Amino acid sequence: MSVRILLLLIALQGQAVLAADADPLQSVMWEYHHKGLLNGEPYVFDERVQVQVPPFAEDSRQVPIHVDARALGDEVVRIEAWADLNPIPRIFTFVPGDQMLPLVAIRIRVEQATPVRAAVLTRDGVWHVGSARVDAAGGGCTAPSVVRAQPGWEDRLGEVIGGRFARGDFSRLRLQVSHPMDNGLVGGIPEFFLNQAELRAADGQVLAALELYPAVAENPSLSLEVKGEQDTRLWLRDNNGNEFEAAL
């Protein structure tokens, strides 16, 4: 057997091991989402990707999740997050630039108890998957909108409230955006949600890009970490073409 063939067999065996890695939460939806969201690409369940959720969702419409892949360092290319059993599972896609840490905190809706996943793509083409399970009474994705019940919500559409907090060599950006984030599952109200966000430097350079999905909670809150103390601006757009911007 030639050395070239031997190396090819070793590589294929390595991919098979990654693909056969057992789901620690034994979700019936894992293989479906592996194929649909990760394109069936090589993966490994990795404890270095931390997904933090409350053990029980007191409010299924506002469930905080915290994804931290700092242990993978500068190798992170992209982060995909989803909730296995949600009717609309995808939460966000995060592409961090060199000035960002691979860390995102956000609030989501959950329809029932579900595993929550974060898959981190590294430069070698392997997805590193972190998992956590949140228990819930349910109904967060199909509950009536709280935002739309508030008078004058249209006048506050796109308002950003937030601030910057020093954390050593980094700054944490914490913000909340006024938006109903309609997911199309409630009372015939069509989808109306923020679907794109970019954190930009003062010169317009894109520091990080986010794609958001209707699983994100109403009046979404978001936390990111950026290196240094440089001035930043947050740019947002919803699926109706409305654009918003705020200095942070």
pLDDT (0 to 100) of residue 198: 98
pLDDT (0 to 100) of residue 12: 41
Structural domains for the chain: 29-240 (2.60.40.2470)
pLDDT (0 to 100) of residue 21: 78
Element (H, E) at 210: strand 206-212
139 φ/ψ angles, rounded to the nearest 5 degrees: 90, 5
Tens digit of each residue's pLDDT, the chain (248 residues): 444 443 343 444 444 334 447 999 999 999 999 999 999 999 999 999 999 999 999 999 999 999 999 999 999 999 999 999 999 999 999 999 999 999 999 999 999 999 999 999 999 999 999 999 999 988 999 999 999 999 999 999 999 999 888 888 889 999 999 999 999 999 889 999 999 999 999 899 999 999 999 999 999 999 999 998 888 999 999 999 999 999 98
Residues 144-188: pLDDT tens digits? 999 999 999 999 999 999 988 888 888 999 999 999 999 999 988
pLDDT (0 to 100) of residue 167: 82
Tell me the three state secondary structure of residue 216. Answer: strand
DSSP annotation of 59 reads S
32 φ/ψ angles, rounded to the nearest 5 degrees: -60, -45
pTM of the model: 0.90
CB 84 within 8 A of CB 161: no
202's tokens: 């003062």
pLDDT (0 to 100) of residue 11: 44
pLDDT (0 to 100) of residue 19: 42
pLDDT (0 to 100) of residue 235: 97
Evaluate the CA torsion angle 151, 154, 156, 159 in order and state its sign: positive
